[in-house]
Structures are given as structure tokens and as C-alpha cells.
């Protein structure tokens, strides 16, 4: 019986989890939902504006949110169709519905990501407390705080991709949720590559992942074609105009863009050189990341494969804001594993602390001091902290973690494990 099935049977025990999560989330939610109206959940306002445009018959990719934000709708047209119910809600109702949804999506992500750790304490009263504490801790990661701050969609997409990859006996056709997430936002499309490399490379490729790839491609394709049938002009505007304008997303060289390309843009090299370095670096990191995601899957560790693929979604994307690093929840869980290895727990805790702190903004402050050498060099490195940290996490998951597990299996005398 899975951890989720047990939790359904023993749901009264999880009231303590709900209490812990509510206590942890309340200050965060109260802080951001009490912001001035024009600074509150600005990305949710973008989604709602897209849905409202469809209701009013306005061109989705021409409308913008009210001043002072003036933000355009930047997502695929299927997302605008999904946002129609938000457009019909009052603004206060939409804020509460969306924020509660974010907390639920985080709880689902934590429950499945940390399943090996939670199953280690199966049947004990400590499980609901541990689950609540893990969810509370993840709530304060900066990428997760920004989900609430901006009213972002990332955690919903993380949960969809995670469930599709790790649920043992899904009631839906495996791959369908990845296809849905890809139709909503393009970056989860990296999981199509993950399904391909785990299902196809050799004859011993996983047949379930092969079928899941077909289903994911079919679902994403169907939900991409659907808008051409329902809102043709908007679909045409997105795929042949809006998608090609990366500046619609905001200033690509801003601190919040922690992708490979974002870090390179902040070096202010000639445009052709930036593009060449980016393509070469993306190819190298993509090859390394997906190769090891495949190996992790075949070694019986799909969580590490999912974590690596999520990091690819951040690093390889032309634009990846800090809140896109919501995948770090799964990364921390993959590092922690079942919790038997103290070193792995310490590394996971270090990764958690690193992404709790607003380190990139410290880099902005250092640069503002205008100290020779320190400001332009150290400041810029610190400004790229989360992008560089994501590269470091790729190495940890791909190289360090397998060696750690192998040492554990071999009974290495230098390995100290928790009882």
C-alpha cells in the first residue's frame, strides 16, 4: 500500500500536518496578500487578464495588465483557455483560490518527493509531523516564496510532471500530465526528452516510458491544436509572433533570470558570442544532465532522474526566473533519500539553506558598492548564485550521489549512516 493510500485511510492523523502547514504558510500568505493591490500576485493577474480577454473577445496577446505592471500574456493559447474561470472570478476570490492551490500543489510535491523518507517511518505517528515539517520548510525556499508572492503557476506544473513520473500505478494514462503541463507552458517539454531517453535508447529501454512518451506527445499536440480550432487568431499570434519575442517576458539580463543564457547576458559580451557560448554550454549540460537522468532511472532512482530533468528546464531555457527553480523541492528530496545517510541529509539541508537565502540580491548590493574588482567580479558571481547553484546541483545528483550510494551498497567504512 502506498504512502498516499495509507494517508487516505489515516487522514485524521494528518490534521496535525495541516496545522503545521497552515501555521507556516499564514505569515507568508498574509504578507503577500496584504501588499498594495497593484503589487499583489502580479502573475496571477496576467493569467486572469488572458482569461478575461477571451471572455471579452479581445486579442489575448495584445492586452496587458493595469498600470503600473503593464504585463502582457506570455503563455501558450491553451493556458488562456484554462484561465477563463479566473477571468470570471472576482479578484479577491481568484487570489485566495490560487494561493490555496499553490499550498496544495506544494503538499502533493513534498509528499511524493520525500516518499522514501516518509515510508521509512511508515505506520508511525511521527509521519504526519515529519510531512508537515518538510512542507513547512519547503514553503520558505525562495523559489517557493516567490510562487506565493507572484501567484505563479510553476508548482502546479512541477506536481503534474512529478506525479506522471513517480506514481506507481496511475489511474490516468502515464504521460498525459506531462503533455498537459507542456501545453500550459513550454518548459516542461524537457520531460518529453526524459521519457525518450529512458524508453528508447536501447532494446532494454523502459516500455512504459515509451508508451508514456507517445501519450505525452499526443496530449501536448492535441492541446496545442485545439486553440487553432477555437481561437485561431490568438493561436496564430502566439506561435508566429509572441513566442519569438523574448523581451515580452521582461528584461532577459535581469538578476531574476538565472538560466545559463541569463548569466551570460549579464557579462555583456557581443551578442553573437553570447549566443555561441550559450548554445555550446546548453548542449554540454543538456547532454550531461539527460545522460545521468537516464542512468538514475535505470539504477532504480527515478526521483533523481526527475530532479535532474527539472534542473534542465531551468538551465536550458532562454529565460528562467528564480520562481522557476521550484524544482529544487524535488532536488532536495533526491539528495536526502530515505534519510539513512547523515552526509546526504547534511547536503540536502545545505541545499535547502542555500535556496532559502536571497543570495542573488546580495550580489546586486555588492555591485552597487562600486568597490574596484570586488563589485564587478564577486558581485556578479554572487548575483548568479542560483544559476551556478543549479549547475552544482546537477553535478551532485549526477556524479556525487551515485558514488555515495555505491559506497553505501559496498559497506564502505568511511560511510556513516543514521540508525
Q: Quick one: pLDDT at residue 419?
A: 31
Q: Is residue 222 very low, low, confident or very high in pLDDT (cuts 50, 70, 90)?
A: very high
Q: Is residue 248 very low, low, confident or very high in pLDDT (cuts 50, 70, 90)?
A: confident
Are 387 and 278 members of one domain?
Answer: yes
Q: Is the pLDDT of residue 7 over 70?
A: no
Q: Is residue 418 very low, low, confident or very high in pLDDT (cuts 50, 70, 90)?
A: very low
pTM of the predicted model, to two decimals? 0.92
Is residue 215 in a domain? no
Q: Quick one: pLDDT at residue 415?
A: 39
Is residue 150 in a domain? yes
Q: Quick one: pLDDT at residue 416?
A: 40
The set of cell numbers assigned to 310 is 527539472
**Residues paired with 64 in a beta bridge:** 72
Are 251 and 362 members of one domain?
Answer: yes
27-41, 125-139, 343-357 — most confident range: 343-357
Four-point Cα dihedral 87, 89, 92, 98, nearest 10: -70
Q: Quick one: pLDDT at residue 412?
A: 47
Is residue 198 in a domain? no
Are 262 and 371 members of one domain?
Answer: yes
Q: Tell me the pLDDT tens digit for each residue of 112-124.
A: 999 999 988 776 6
Q: Quick one: pLDDT at residue 407?
A: 66
Name the phi and psi angles at 89, rounded to 5. Answer: -85, 155
Q: Is the pLDDT of residue 36 over 90?
A: no
Q: Which of 171, 206, 227 is the last residue of a domain?
A: 171
Are 162 and 254 members of one domain?
Answer: no
Over residues 83-112, the mean pLDDT reads 95
Q: Is residue 39 very low, low, confident or very high in pLDDT (cuts 50, 70, 90)?
A: confident
Are 54 and 162 members of one domain?
Answer: yes
CB atoms inside a 10 Å sphere around CB 93: 11
Are 261 and 358 members of one domain?
Answer: yes
Are 23 and 141 members of one domain?
Answer: yes
**Residues paired with 417 in a beta bridge:** 341
Q: Is the pLDDT of residue 289 over 90?
A: yes
Q: Quick one: pLDDT at residue 6?
A: 52
Q: Is the pLDDT of residue 267 over 60?
A: yes
Is residue 354 in a domain? yes
Are 271 and 413 members of one domain?
Answer: yes
Are 155 and 284 members of one domain?
Answer: no
Is residue 63 in a domain? yes
Q: Which of 109, 143, 171 is the last residue of a domain?
A: 171
Over residues 144-151, the mean pLDDT reads 96
Percent of the chain topping pLDDT 90: 75
Q: How far apart are CA 394 and CA 77, in angstroms?
A: 32
Q: Is residue 1 very low, low, confident or very high in pLDDT (cuts 50, 70, 90)?
A: very low
Is residue 335 in a domain? yes
Q: Is the pLDDT of residue 292 over 70?
A: yes
Q: Is the pLDDT of residue 201 over 70?
A: no
Percent of the chain topping pLDDT 70: 91
Over residues 297-326, the mean pLDDT reads 95
Q: Tell me the pLDDT tens digit for each residue of 77-90.
A: 999 999 999 999 99
Over residues 249-273, the mean pLDDT reads 92
Over residues 272-280, the mean pLDDT reads 96
Are 159 and 286 members of one domain?
Answer: no
User: For the chain, how many structural domains are there in total?
Assistant: 2
Residue pair 183/220 in contact (Cβ under 8 Å)? The answer is: yes
Q: Quick one: pLDDT at residue 9?
A: 57
* Mean pLDDT (the chain, rounded): 90
Q: Which domain holds residue 146?
A: 1-171
| Residue whose entry in the numeric block shows the C-alpha cell 551570460 | 264
Q: Is the pLDDT of residue 2 over 70?
A: no
Over residues 155-182, the mean pLDDT reads 95
Are 131 and 30 members of one domain?
Answer: yes
Q: Which of 148, 171, 194 is the last residue of a domain?
A: 171
Over residues 347-363, the mean pLDDT reads 97
Residue pair 20/132 in contact (Cβ under 8 Å)? The answer is: yes
Q: How far apart are CA 387 and CA 359, in angstroms?
A: 11
Is residue 73 in a domain? yes
Is residue 112 in a domain? yes
Q: Is the pLDDT of residue 139 over 80?
A: yes
Over residues 194-218, the mean pLDDT reads 81
Are 291 and 402 members of one domain?
Answer: yes
Amino acid at each position: 500500500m502506498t504512502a498516499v493510500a495509507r494517508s487516505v485511510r489515516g487522514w485524521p492523523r494528518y490534521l496535525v500536518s495541516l496545522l503545521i502547514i497552515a501555521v507556516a504558510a499564514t505569515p507568508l500568505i498574509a504578507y503577500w496578500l496584504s501588499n498594495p493591490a497593484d503589487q499583489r500576485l502580479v502573475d496571477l493577474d496576467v493569467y486572469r487578464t488572458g482569461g478575461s480577454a477571451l471572455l471579452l473577445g479581445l486579442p489575448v496577446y495584445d492586452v496587458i495588465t493595469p498600470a503600473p505592471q503593464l504585463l502582457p500574456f506570455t503563455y501558450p493559447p491553451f493556458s488562456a483557455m484554462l484561465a477563463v474561470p479566473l477571468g470570471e472570478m472576482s479578484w479577491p476570490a481568484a487570489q485566495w483560490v490560487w494561493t490555496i492551490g499553490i499550498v496544495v500543489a506544494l503538499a502533493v510535491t513534498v509528499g511524493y518527493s520525500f516518499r522514501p523518507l516518509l515510508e521509512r517511518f511508515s505506520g508511525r505517528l511521527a509521519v504526519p509531523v515529519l510531512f508537515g515539517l518538510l512542507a513547512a520548510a519547503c514553503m520558505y525556499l525562495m523559489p517557493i516564496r516567490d510562487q506565493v508572492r507572484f501567484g505563479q503557476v510553476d508548482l502546479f506544473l512541477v506536481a503534474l510532471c512529478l506525479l506522471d513520473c513517480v506514481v506507481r500505478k496511475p489511474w490516468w494514462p502515464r504521460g498525459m500530465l506531462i503533455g498537459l503541463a507542456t501545453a500550459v507552458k513550454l518548459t516542461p517539454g524537457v520531460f518529453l526528452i526524459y521519457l525518450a531517453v529512458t524508453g528508447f535508447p536501447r532494446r532494454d529501454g523502459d516500455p512504459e516510458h515509451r508508451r508514456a512518451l507517445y501519450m505525452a506527445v499526443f496530449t501536448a499536440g492535441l492541446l496545442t491544436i485545439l486553440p487553432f480550432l477555437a481561437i485561431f487568431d490568438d493561436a496564430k499570434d502566439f506561435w508566429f509572433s509572441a513566442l519569438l519575442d523574448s523581451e515580452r517576458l521582461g528584461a532577459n539580463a535581469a538578476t531574476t533570470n538565472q538560466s545559463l543564457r541569463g548569466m551570460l547576458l549579464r557579462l555583456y559580451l557581443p551578442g553573437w558570442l553570447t549566443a555561441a557560448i550559450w548554445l555550446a554550454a546548453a548542449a554540454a549540460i543538456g547532454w550531461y544532465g539527460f545522460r545521468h537522468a537516464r542512468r538514475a532511472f535505470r539504477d532504480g532512482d527515478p526521483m533523481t532522474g526527475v530532479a535532474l530533468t527539472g534542473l534542465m528546464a531551468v538551465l536550458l531555457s532562454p529565460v528562467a526566473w528564480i520562481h522557476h527553480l521550484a524544482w529544487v523541492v524535488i532536488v532536495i528530496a533526491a539528495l536526502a533519500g530515505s534519510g539513512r545517510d547523515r552526509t546526504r541529509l547534511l547536503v540536502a539541508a545545505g541545499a535547502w539553506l542555500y535556496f532559502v537565502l536571497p543570495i542573488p540580491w546580495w550580489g546586486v548590493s555588492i555591485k552597487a558598492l562600486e568597490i574596484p574588482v570586488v563589485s564587478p567580479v564577486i558581485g556578479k558571481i554572487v548575483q548568479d548564485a542560483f544559476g551556478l547553484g543549479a549547475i552544482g546541483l546537477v553535478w551532485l545528483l549526477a556524479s556525487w550521489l551515485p558514488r555515495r550510494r555505491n559506497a553505501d551498497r559496498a559497506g564502505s567504512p568511511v560511510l556513516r549512516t543514521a540508525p
